[in-house]
A and B are shown apart, each in its own frame.
Chain A
Amino acid sequence: MSKRPLLPLLIAAGLLLVAINAAMGIWSHRLPFRIKLEQIRASHDANIVFVGNSLLDGRIDHDILARTAKSRCASLNSVNAALGAVDPPEQRLLFNYARRLNPGIRTVVVGFFDFQLTASDNSRAVDLIGNRLVGVDRRFSAREVASAYNFGLVDRATMEILRWSPMAAYRGSAWKEVELLRRSMGTMGMPAVATNSMGRVSDFAGLEAADTQAFDKHAADFLDNLNQFNRSYEWIFDQAARSHTRVVLLLMPMSPYHRSAFYSRPAWPKYLAAIESLAAQRGYGVIDASEWIPNDDDFADHLHMTINASKGFTARVGSALTAMPDR
C-alpha cells in the first residue's frame, strides 16, 4: 500500500466543506422564510399582526384591509407574519420578530384550521427543514429558539450546528431540486397532474386528517382535556396579554370538500364550541370564516384559497375585526 500525505487531503477536504457551505449560503439567500423576515423588517407602525401558516401566508391584502378599516372609521395597518409550511413554534418566532419591530401592535390574529390550535408539538432539531428553519436566522438568539421548541441539550447542539453550517441547514434546498427532477421524470408519458404554486394539489391531502376516525379522535382528545392551546400559541397569547393586545382566532375558509368530509362530522361543532368557550373565558375574539367561500374554484386545493379569493376574504376580515370590541 502506498503512503499518501495526509495534510494535503485534510486541507482539500476542509476547503471543499468551506466551498460547499459558502455555495449553500449564497444559494439559500432568497429562501421564502428569509423573504418573509425581510417583509416583516420592512413593516412599520403596524397595529395588527397576522400569525399562521400557508393558509394565511399571502392571503391578507394590506391595502384592502386598511381601506376597509378606514371606511369604518378605524385603522388597521397590518404585518402578515404567516408563513407556509411552518408549525406553531416557527409562528411564535415570527410573531415575536414582528412584535419587536412593531411595538404598536394591538391586535394579533391567529389563522387556523382543523386542530392546529390544540395539537401538541414535539419537533426535534433534525425535523426542521425548509421554512421551518427560520430559527437558524441570526435575528433569533439561540436561547429564544431553544425556548420556542423546548429543546433539550442534544437538540440545542444540533440547532447550533445548523446555525453555523448552511450545508446542513439548507439541505432541503438541494433535496428540492432532486425532488423536482424526480417529479418531472415521473410525469413523462403520464397524464398531467394538478399543481399550484406550492406543489402538487393531491399532496396537500396529507395535511388533512388521514380519515374521519382520526379526525374524530383529535377532537375527542381535546374535549377530554380542554384547558389549553398548543404551547406556542399559549406563549403568543401570554405575550399579547402582557402588552394589552387583543387576540382574535380566525378559522380559515375551507373548501366545500373539506367542510363536507370533516366539518360535517358531529365531533367538529363540539370541538369548535369548546374552542370558542375557552376563547370567551380569556376574552379572545373568534371569527369563523370556514364557510365564507362556497365555491370550489376559489381554492387551489382542499385547504388553500386562491390569491384572487383572498381579496374578498381580506375585506370581510377587516369588517369583522372593526366590528369587534377592542378587548
Chain B
Amino acid sequence: MTFTRLRATLEFLGGERDDAPLLLSGKYAWVARCAVWMLAIVLIYFFSGQSSKFIYIDF
C-alpha cells in the first residue's frame, strides 16, 4: 500500500473525507473493516484498565 492510500484510508476512518478508499470499498472491504474493528477492540481492551491502581505487577 502506498503512503497516499494509507493516508486516504486513515483520513476516511477519521471522518476527514467521505469517499471510501479502495481498501474499504472493494469486494473484500468487509475484511478490511473487520481488521479495523479488530484493531480498535484490541486497543480498547488493552487500555481499558487505566483506572486500575496496580500495586502488585507480578500476576
Contacts and interface: CB of A to CB of B under 8 A. Distances in A.
Asked if A pairs with B, the answer is: yes
B55 A167 contact: no
Interface in B27-57: 30-31, 33-34, 37-38, 41-42, 45-50, 52-57
Contact of A179 (B31, B41, B42, B54): B54
B10 to A, nearest CB: 21
Contact of B30 (A9, A130, A179, A203): A9
Nearest to A174: B46
B57 A180 contact: yes
Category for how many chain A residues contact B? 35 or more
B45 A203 contact: no
Contact of B57 (A8, A9, A174, A198): A198
Contacts of B59: 31-33, 84-85, 129-131, 172-173, 176
B34 A198 contact: no
24 contacts: A12-B31, A84-B59, A85-B56, A85-B59, A129-B59, A171-B48, A171-B49, A172-B59, A174-B45, A175-B46, A175-B48, A175-B52, A176-B57, A178-B46, A179-B52, A180-B57, A197-B58, A198-B57, A199-B55, A199-B56, A199-B57, A200-B57, A206-B55, A207-B55
Given A174-B46, A179-B52, 8 more contacts: A9-B33, A32-B59, A85-B56, A129-B59, A167-B45, A175-B48, A199-B54, A200-B57
